[in-house]
Structure 1
Amino acid sequence: MARADKQAAVAEIAESFSDSAGAVLTEYRGLTVKELQDLRRSLGANANYAVVKNTLAKLAAKEAGIEGFDELLTGPTAIAFIKGDVVEAAKGLRDFAKANPTLVIKGGVLDGALLDAKEIAKLADLESREVLLGKLAGAMLASLSQAVYLLNAPLAQAARLAGALEAKAQEDPSILAGGAGTPAAAEEAPAADEAAAEEAPRPRGCCRRGRRADRRLRPG
C-alpha cells in the first residue's frame, strides 16, 4: 500500500473511532461473504461493520486517543463502529454470534473506556434506549395522572357539596337566606302562644272564687 493510501486509510479509521459512540472488535474468521452481508444488514443504522487491517487500526486508535487497544487487534479483524444505540448494536452482534459461532467478539471501547468480551455481553443484556424511554414515559404519565387526580379531588368534593346545597335550597329556599324561615317560626311560637293566652276569655267561675277568697281573708 502506498504511503498516501495508508495515511488516508488510517485517517478514515481514526475518524470512524472519533465519530462513533463506541466500537466493538470482532474476529470474523470463517464467515462467508454472504454471512458478513447478513451481519451488516442486521446491525442496520446502529453500526457500520468494517473489515480493517490490524496495523492500520493500531495507528488509527492511537491517533483517536485510544490506548490499550493493540492487544485486541489480532487475527482477521472487523470493527463495528456504533453510530446509533450502543445496546442495540451489542445485542445484534451477540445474537448473530450465537447463530454463527465463527464470529468472535473480542472487546471494544465505549466513551474512551476499553471493554472486554464479558463487558460487551453485559452491555448486550441491558434494556435498549427505546425500552427505557418507554418505561420513563409510562412512569411520567402515571405521576401526571396522580397529580391530576390530587388537583381535581378537592374540586370534585366542592362540586358535590354545591349540588347538595342546591337540592336542599330547592326544598327549603330559606336556607339561602341564612337559615331563617322554619327555625325562626319555631322560635317565635312560644311568644305567640303567650299573647294568645292573655287575650283568651277567662272561665266564669274562676273570678267569683277569687273574690270569695278575698272576702275571707279581709279582717272583721
Structure 2
Amino acid sequence: MNRQDKAQIIEQLHEKASRASIAVVTDFKGMTVEEMTQLRAKCFEIGVDYQVVKNTLARLALNDTDHGVLSEHLKENCAIALGYDDPVALAKALADFAKTNKKFAMRYGTLEGQFLDSDAVKELSKMPSKPELLSSLLGTMQAVPRNFVCLFANIERKFLYALTAIKEQKEAA
C-alpha cells in the first residue's frame, strides 16, 4: 500500500469518526470471510460503518475526534464500527452477532468521547433503542390528557346517573 492510499484511508476514517456518536473496536480473529460479510451486512442495515483498518492508520485517523481515546488501546487485529444516529442500535447489533459467533468479541468503545469497556458496551446494548424510548415518552405524554378527559367524562356520567335515578324515583311516586 503506497502513501497516497494510506492518506486516503486516514482521511475517510477521520471524516467518518468525526460524524460518529459511537465507535466500538471489535476483535474478529479467526472469523471467516462469510461471517465478516454477514456482520457487515447487518451493520449496513442499521446505518453503521464497519471497517477493518491497520492500527497505525486508525490511530492517525481517530486523533482530533471524540474517539481519540481509543488510539492508545488499538492493539493486534481489530476492526472499528462507527454509529451515527442510534448508539444503542450499534451496540445491540454487535452484541447479537457476538452471541451467535464465539470468535467475535467487542473490546471497547467510546460514546460521545467517553471511554467504554466491553461490559459497558454490553450494558448499552440492553437499553431500549431510540424509537422505543420515543414511543414510551409519547405514551406518557398522551396519558395525562386522556386521563383528564376520562375524569371529566366520569363526572358527567355520574351526574347523568343521578338525574336518571331522580327521574325514575319521581315517576314511581
2:20 equivalent in structure 1: 20
2:94 equivalent in structure 1: 93
What are the superposed Cα offsets for residues 167-215 of structure 1, whole Å, 9 maximum, x if unpaired?
A: 789899xxxxxxxxxxxxxxxxxxxxxxxxxxxxxxxxxxxxxxxxxxx
Unpaired runs of 5+ residues, structure 2, are none
Find the aligned partners of 1:42 and 1:6 in 2 and give their Cα distance: 27
Aligned-partner SS, 1:68: helix
Letter in 2 for 1:122: E
Matches within 5 A, 1:77-156: 77-156=78-157
TM-score, with structure 1 as normaliser: 0.68
The structure whose Rg is larger is 1
1:112, distance to aligned residue in structure 2 (A): 1.2
Find the aligned partners of 1:34 and 1:110 in 2 and give their Cα distance: 29
% of aligned pairs identical?
33
1:199 equivalent in structure 2: none
TM-score, with structure 2 as normaliser: 0.84
Aligned residues of 1:25 and 1:72 also touching (Cα < 8 A): no
Find the aligned partners of 2:162 and 2:64 in 1 and give their Cα distance: 75
The root-mean-square deviation of aligned C-alpha atoms, in Å, is 2.5
Aligned residues of 1:72 and 1:106 also touching (Cα < 8 A): no
1:113, distance to aligned residue in structure 2 (A): 1.1
Letter in 2 for 1:77: C
Find the aligned partners of 1:156 and 1:102 in 2 and give their Cα distance: 64
When residues 107 and 132 of structure 1 are mapped into structure 2, their CA distance, relative to the original with a 3 A threshold, is same
2:30 equivalent in structure 1: 30
When residues 65 and 120 of structure 1 are mapped into structure 2, their CA distance, relative to the original with a 3 A threshold, is closer
When residues 161 and 93 of structure 1 are mapped into structure 2, their CA distance, relative to the original with a 3 A threshold, is same
Letter in 2 for 1:154: I
Aligned length: 172
Letter in 2 for 1:136: L
Aligned residues of 1:26 and 1:78 also touching (Cα < 8 A): yes
Aligned residues of 2:66 and 2:112 also touching (Cα < 8 A): no
Aligned residues of 1:46 and 1:85 also touching (Cα < 8 A): no
Higher relative contact order (CA 8 A, sep 6+): 2
Find the aligned partners of 1:15 and 1:6 in 2 and give their Cα distance: 14
